Amino acid sequence: MIITKLKGGLGNQMFQYAIARSLSSKNTVYLDLSFLQNNNTSSVHFTKRDFELGIFPVSYKISSDKEREVFFSKSLKNKILRKLIYGNLTHITQSENEIVNISASKNIYLDGYFQSEKYFAHIRDILLKDFTFPDLDTENKIVQKKINSIENTVSIHLRRGDYLKPDIQKYHGSLPSEYYLEAINFLEENFENCSFFVFSDDISYCKEIFKNIKNIEYIDHNHGNNSWKDMYLMTQCRHHIIANSSFSWWGAWLGQKDGKTIAPKNWFNKEVANFDIQDIIPQKWITI
């Protein structure tokens, strides 16, 4: 039994599912929703998230209280169950976002973000099927058709919103406009007739910093429960300029066109987070 604890938004939940799927590729993945259910109020320090994996045709079961107790309860009954029925139980916890070694075990509880393809790159074909998006509505199909009619399309993702909350900004940091402008310049120097599609929760800010960029379109109609449609449209682009965000990470990783992905070398604020960015960024991607 492989149980993965879900926390964070869609992108983070996809990472948490992906590592569990890699450890249980022939069996059902169990999802622990307790964190999402117990932390259901946003504040100046925290953004509540809902269960979002349901948009995909992934195979899963919701872990029960009893199943979680097998891993954590110190009662005599559960100690006996662990010994006689389940055998070796492994509890994997990340302290931050560092790579952790996972020993072979049939029963694992995963608690972390696991933001690295190193855990699941070997099952990419499986994940491409698991993370199949639903059909788009008419408005987004028009955008999709336009993207697929142009050779050098570039998705640009800017995340602001909750990243501007003091506590979150202290850890993640907000990317400067210079990062995006340098990335755009790199692609324009290496590819002809680039067309840019901007996805963001702050389109007004984007229009200001990109006011001198030609061939640019702003996608500003997918909000709330429809935000996944932005990720889907990102996957349709050839090239990607991503934010320090798991949302646009997946928008680039799920893309199947032969293009370039540019990512920020400062994924987290180095003053508070200290681990190898190469664990997060795939080797073929470019960092600026």
C-alpha–C-alpha distance, residues 172 and 58, integer Å: 29
What residues in the chain have per-residue pLDDT under 70? Answer: 25-26, 43-46, 71-75, 77-88, 161-173, 269-277
Q: Can you spell out the DSSP letters for 129-185?
A: HHTPPPPP-HHHHHHHHHHHT-SSEEEEEE--GGGGSHHHHHHH----HHHHHHHHH
C-alpha–C-alpha distance, residues 34 and 52, integer Å: 14
249-288 b/e (C-beta count within 10 Å ≥ 16 → b): bbbbbbbeeebbbbbbebbbeeeebebebebbbeeebeeb
Q: How far apart are the first and last CA of the chain?
A: 40
Among 116, 70, 126, which residue's Cα sits nearest to residue 94? 116
Q: What local confidence, expressed as pLDDT, does residue 267 receive? A: 84
- Set out the domains of the chain in order of their start, with CATH numbers: 2-128 (no CATH), 137-287 (3.40.50.11350)
Structure tokens at 84: 């006689």
Q: What local confidence, expressed as pLDDT, does residue 66 receive? A: 77
Say if CB 255 and CB 154 are below 8 A apart.
Answer: no
C-alpha–C-alpha distance, residues 41 and 20, integer Å: 27
